[in-house]
Amino acid sequence: MLSSRLQIRLIALVLALIGFSITWYKVDVLGIPIYPHDKRSVYNIGAEISFIGQHESALISMAIPPKQQGIRILSYDATSADFGFTTAQTANGKRAEWSKRMVDGKQRLFYSIDAIIDSHAKEEEENTLDMQLEEETLSDYTKPVLNAAQTLLKDIHNHSADAHSFTALLIQHFNADAPSQTVKMLRTQNSDDMLNLLYRLLRYEGITVRKIRGLYLGETQHNQSLIPMLEVYSNERWQLFDLKEGKIPRAANFFVWQKGGVSLLDAIGVKESKITFSVSEHRVPAGQIAKHEKMLKEAPLLNFSLFSLPVSQQNSFKHILLIPIGALVVVFLRILVGLRTSGTFMPILIALAFMQTSLIVGLIMFLVIVGFGLLIRSYLSHMNLLLVARISAVVIVVIAIMSVMSILSYKLGLDEVLSITFFPMIILAWTIERMSILWEEEGAKEVFIQGGGSLFVATLAYFAMSNTLVGHLTFNFPELLFVVLAIIIMLGTYSGYRLSELMRFKSMV
Amino acid sequence: MFFASPFALKRRGILGMNRRNVEYIGKLNNRKNFPLVDNKLKTKRIAEAAGIAVPKLLDTIKNQSELKKLHERLEQLRTFVVKPAQGSGGKGILVIVHREGDDFEKPNGEHLSLEEIHHHISNILSGLYSLGGKNDVAMIESLVEFDPIFEHYSFEGVPDIRVVLYKGFPAMAMLRCSTSMSDGKANLHQGAIGVGISMKDGRALNAVQYDRPVMHHPDTKHDFSTLRVPHWERILHLAASCYDITHLGYLGVDIVLDKKLGPLILELNARPGLAIQIANDEGELPRFDLIDTQENTLSVHERVAFSIEHF
C-alpha cells in the first residue's frame, strides 16, 4: 500500500497533468490563445423564449437577423429540446420556427448567433422598395385627431427639406420637454407604441420607412429587450433614427435583429410567451474566427465545453469559475500566512460582491452596513431574543440599511451604490452576529483583527478574481481548475510553519 | 528582524499549527471520539464513571421551556457556574460567586439579575456558544473554591493547569493565570498569563503574557519564580488517566485545584493550543519524539513516572 502522503501527491500530480494536458491540447491543436490580448471579439447574441404550454400543439415563430452591413454572422444555433425546428423564408425576412404537437408547462427555447464586427460585411440584396408600399390612411383615427395630425405633418413638412430632415423634426417634436397638444392627443389616441405611431405618421406622409429592432454589441448583458428604431430611405440611402435621439449614425456595434414591420415573436397555442436577449463577448484571435464555427462543430472537447451552453448560463459560469480562484487565495492566506478571518469563505462572497460594485465602493458599503448592523445588533442584544429570531432580525435590518443606502445615494446621484444588492445579505447578517459576539467576548481588538483580516483576504481575492488573464484562463480553460484543485490538495498537506507563527514564536529563538 | 527563521523554530522543536492539525490531531485523534471532549456533559459522565475527580454537576437545562422554572431551580444555589456543554475556548461560561436574593455577583464584582442569567442560559440553549451553532445544553456546576496557594497569581478568576498529553504521557504543562486584561478569563490570547511548569516537581519555569516573557503578575505584582504547584504528581496522574477514557492521542487536560477536593478535571480539549510552548520556552516535538520510543501499553503510573524522569 502506498502511504497516504504519497497517494495525495500522486492524485495531485495526476490532476495537474490532466489540467495541463487538456490546456495544452486546446492551445496547441485547437489554437485557443493563452493570453487575452491580440484578439477580436466574438459576440454571442442569445434569444431566450419562454412560454407556458397549454396542452395543445404549439407553433413558435421568431424573426431571425438578416445579413447586415458591418457585422458578420458566423453561426446560428438553436437549442430546442424536443421541438421540431426549421427556418423559413417569408416575405418579411427569415424566421425560425419551433413546433410541437403537445406542449405542457413552462418551456424555454434558445436561439443564438455568433457575430463579429466586420466592416467588410455586406447587407443582404433586397428589393427594399417593393415591400414598403402598403398604404397608410390613419383610418382608425377620430376626425379631430386626424385633423391635428395632418396639421402637424403639414407644419413639419414646411419646415423640412427631405424625408430625413422631416423624420428628425418629427422625432424632435415628439420628444420635446413640453409636448404639444397634438402629440399628447396622438399618444393617447390608440394603443400604438412610439415606434408604431411614428411609423404610421411617416407612412401617411408617404415616406419610405421601415422598423428596425436591434441591440448594441458590447459587454456582457442579460435580459435585454431589443431597441426599436426607424430607418428612412431618401437620397438613395437609408438613415437610422433613434426614437429619442433622432438622427444617429449607424453605430458599428449596432446589431439589427429584425427589419420590417412584422412581429418579432408569434406564439400560437401557448400563453405568457416572452422573449429576452443577452449578449456575451468572447475574445478569439483574429485568425481563428474563420475556423470558429467549424471548430465548435468538430472538436468533441469543445462540443462538450461551456461554449455549448446558452449564453446567459455561460455568463453565470464566468463568475462561478472564479470562485475556486478565490478559494485558493483563502487557502493560501490561512494555511501559509495564518490570517484570521471571520467565517472561512465569507471573504470570497464579499469579493464576488466587490466585482459587481467595484472595490472602493464595495469596501465603503461593507463597512457602512456592518457598522450600522453592529450598532443595531448591540441594541437587539438587550432585548433577550432567541438566536434564530435575532439573526432574522439582523437580516431585516441589513436589508433596511441597504434600501436606505440605495435610495439616499440615488437621490444624491451616486449610481454606484445601487449595486449594493449584490452583497450577500444572509452572510452579512451572520458576519454582524459573529462580530458582535466577538466584540462582547474578546473585545474590539479581535473584531478589528478578524474583520480587517476578512476584508484584506476579500480584497486580495477580488484582485485575483477580477484579473483579466485569470478570467480569460478560467473561462476558456476550465480544466485548469484541476490544477487549482491539485494546488489546494497539496496545500492541505502542508505541515510547515505559518508566516504568523514565525512572528509568534520569535521570542523563543 | 520581524520574523524568526523557520529553521531556527524547527531546531527548537516547535510545533506549528499546520503540523498540529495534519500530523497530530489528524492522525492521533479519532473523529469518533471528539464528542467525548467537545461535549462537557459526556466528558463528565465518562470521567465520573472512571472515578476521575470533576466539579460536581448540580443541574442541567436542556430546553427553553425549563427556563420558566429557573427561579426555583436556582433557589438552593448560592454559588455556581453556568457552562454550555459544547462551548469552545471558554465561551459562554458564567461564574456566580455570591448571591443576595435575585441579585447575582460575578467574580469581577459585576451584578446580574435573574433576568440576565435567564437570557444567558437561553443563548446557550439556542447554540450561540456551541461549535457550528447547534442547539446546546446548559450545565450548572458547583463553584470550585480555589486553593489559596494561587491567590497571588491570579486576578478575579480561577487559575487552571493545562497538561498536554501525548499518547497518554504528560508532555508539557502550564498554569494559566487570569489578569485584569483577560477579564478574569484564563485564555492566553485574551491576555492571561501562561506559566510553564516543570514536569519534575511542579515549579514555575517561565511566564509569558501575549507571547512575551514577564516576571511578575501585572495586577498582583507577585514574582512567578517562587511559584510551585502543589499535589504535582496527583495532578499528572489525574491528567494521564484522561487518555484511558478518551483514547485521544493528542489531548489538552484542564485541571483546577479545589481547596477541599484537590485537583479536579475542568475540561478536556482535543485541539490543544500551541502557546504552552512559549510558556515553557521549549518546543513540544522533541518530547513527542521521545514518547514515540516508548511502548503504548504502559499504565498511568508508568507513564507519569516516565514523564517526571525525562522532562
Q: Write out B175-223 in H/E/C secondary structure.
A: EEECCCCCCCCCCHHHCCEEEEECCCCCEEEEEEECCEEECECCCCCCE
- Residues of A in Cβ contact (< 8 Å) with B208: 507
pLDDT at A286: 55
Interface size A-B, in CB pairs within 8 Å, comes to 88
In chain A, how many domains are there?
Answer: 1
- Residues of A in Cβ contact (< 8 Å) with B16: 495-498, 501
**Candidates A383, A505, A507, A509, partner chain B, best to mutate (most B CBs within 10 A):** A505
Which of B110, B141, B172 marks a domain boundary?
Answer: B141
Q: Select the more confidently predicted residue: A81 or A339.
A: A339
- Residues of A in Cβ contact (< 8 Å) with B18: 335, 494-498
CA distances from A462 to A324, A425, A476, B210 (A): 12, 18, 20, 33
Give the number of C-alpha atoms closer than 13 A to the C-alpha of residue B300, restricted to the C-beta side: 15
Shortest distance between the Cα of B245 and any Cα of chain A, in A, equals 28
Residue A28 has pLDDT above 80, yes or no: no
Task: Provide the residue range defining the domain that includes A438.
Answer: 319-502
pLDDT at A88: 83
Q: Considering CB atoms only, which of B118, B127, B212 is closest to A507?
A: B212
Q: Considering CB atoms only, which of B11, B18, B277 is closest to A498?
A: B18
Predicted ipTM of the assembly: 0.81
- Residues of A in Cβ contact (< 8 Å) with B285: none
What average pLDDT does this structure show over A189-212? 80
Asked whether the beta carbons of residue B14 and residue A508 sit closer than 8 angstroms, the reply is yes
Asked whether the beta carbons of residue A495 and residue B22 sit closer than 8 angstroms, the reply is yes
Residues B46, B106 within the same domain:
no
pLDDT at B1: 64
Residue A285 has pLDDT above 70, yes or no: no
Residues B155, B100 within the same domain:
no
pLDDT at B131: 67
Q: What are A's interface residues with B at a Cβ cutoff of 8 A?
A: 335, 338, 384, 386-388, 437, 441-443, 492-499, 501-509
Asked whether the beta carbons of residue A495 and residue B19 sit closer than 8 angstroms, the reply is yes
From the list A381, A506, A373, A395, the residue with the least C-alpha distance to A451 is: A373
Which of B120, B141, B162 marks a domain boundary?
Answer: B141
Q: Which residues are paired to A392 by β-bridges?
A: none
Q: Is B264 helix (H, G, I), strand (E, B) or coil?
A: strand
B39 assigned to some structural domain:
yes
pLDDT at A336: 92
Q: What is the pLDDT of residues A94-124, one digit of tens each?
A: 888 888 888 888 888 888 888 888 776 677 6
A369 assigned to some structural domain:
yes
Q: Select the more confidently predicted residue: A445 or A464.
A: A464
DSSP secondary structure letters along B5-34: -HHHHHHTTPPPHHHIIIIIIHHHS-GGGH
**Taking CA B109 as the corner, what is the angle to CA B106 and CA B113, rounded to the nearest 5 degrees?**
55
Asked whether the beta carbons of residue A509 and residue B22 sit closer than 8 angstroms, the reply is no
Q: What is the pLDDT of residues A122-141, one digit of tens each?
A: 776 555 555 555 677 777 77
Which of B141, B156, B182 marks a domain boundary?
Answer: B141
Asked whether the beta carbons of residue B4 and residue A509 sit closer than 8 angstroms, the reply is yes
Shortest distance between the Cα of B196 and any Cα of chain A, in A, equals 13
Residues B113, B32 within the same domain:
no
What average pLDDT does this structure show over A335-361? 86
Residues B29, B165 within the same domain:
yes
A347 assigned to some structural domain:
yes
Residues B96, B38 within the same domain:
no
**Candidates A337, A426, A494, A508, partner chain B, best to mutate (most B CBs within 10 A):** A508
C-alpha span between B180 and B157 (Å, rounded): 9
pLDDT at A38: 59
Asked whether the beta carbons of residue B18 and residue A384 sit closer than 8 angstroms, the reply is no
For residue A507, give the chain B residue with the closest CA: B212
Asked whether the beta carbons of residue A507 and residue B278 sit closer than 8 angstroms, the reply is yes
Residues B92, B173 within the same domain:
no
A401 assigned to some structural domain:
yes
Residue A481 has pLDDT above 70, yes or no: yes
Residues B129, B151 within the same domain:
no
B131 assigned to some structural domain:
yes
A148 assigned to some structural domain:
no
B299 assigned to some structural domain:
yes
In chain B, how many domains are there?
Answer: 2
B1 assigned to some structural domain:
no
Shortest distance between the Cα of B110 and any Cα of chain A, in A, equals 15
Most confident of A405-419, A482-496, B205-219: A482-496
A445: pLDDT confidence band, cut at 50, 70 and 90? confident
What average pLDDT does this structure show over A349-368? 87
CB distance A63 to A111 below 8 Å? no
Residues B156, B130 within the same domain:
no
From the list B2, B298, B22, the residue with the least C-alpha distance to B165 is: B298
How is residue A263 written as a grid cell? 412581429
Q: What is the pLDDT of residues B251-305, one digit of tens each?
A: 999 999 988 889 999 889 999 989 899 999 999 999 999 999 988 788 999 999 9
Which segments in chain B show pLDDT lower than 50? Answer: none
Residue A55 has pLDDT above 70, yes or no: yes
Share the mean pLDDT of chain A: 82
A488: pLDDT confidence band, cut at 50, 70 and 90? very high
Q: What is the CATH number of the domain that holds B130?
A: 3.30.1490
How is residue A509 written as a grid cell? 529563538
Residues B151, B257 within the same domain:
yes
- Residues of B in Cβ contact (< 8 Å) with A386: 64, 122, 126
Residue A410 has pLDDT above 60, yes or no: yes
Asked whether the beta carbons of residue A508 and residue B91 sit closer than 8 angstroms, the reply is no
B295 assigned to some structural domain:
yes
Q: How far apart are the first and last CA of chain A?
A: 40
Q: What is the radius of gyration, based on Cα positions, of chain A?
A: 29
- Phi then psi dihedrals of residue A38, to 5 deg: 55, 50
CA-CA-CA-CA dihedral for A394, A400, A401, A405, to nearest 10: 160
Residue A394 has pLDDT above 90, yes or no: no
pLDDT at A288: 59
How is residue A216 written as a grid cell? 448594441
- Which helix H or strand E contains A74, and what residues bound it? strand A71-79
Residues B98, B247 within the same domain:
no
Q: What is the pLDDT of residues A232-268, one digit of tens each?
A: 888 777 888 888 877 788 778 888 888 876 778 888 8
For residue A434, give the chain B residue with the closest CA: B128
Q: What is the CATH number of the domain that holds B177?
A: 3.30.470.20
- Residues of B in Cβ contact (< 8 Å) with A498: 16-18
A450 assigned to some structural domain:
yes
CB distance A45 to A113 below 8 Å? yes
Helix B285-292 to helix B300-310 angle, to the nearest 10 degrees?
A: 130
Task: Provide the residue range defining the domain that includes B242.
Answer: 6-52+146-310
A159 assigned to some structural domain:
no
A290: pLDDT confidence band, cut at 50, 70 and 90? very low
Residues B67, B170 within the same domain:
no
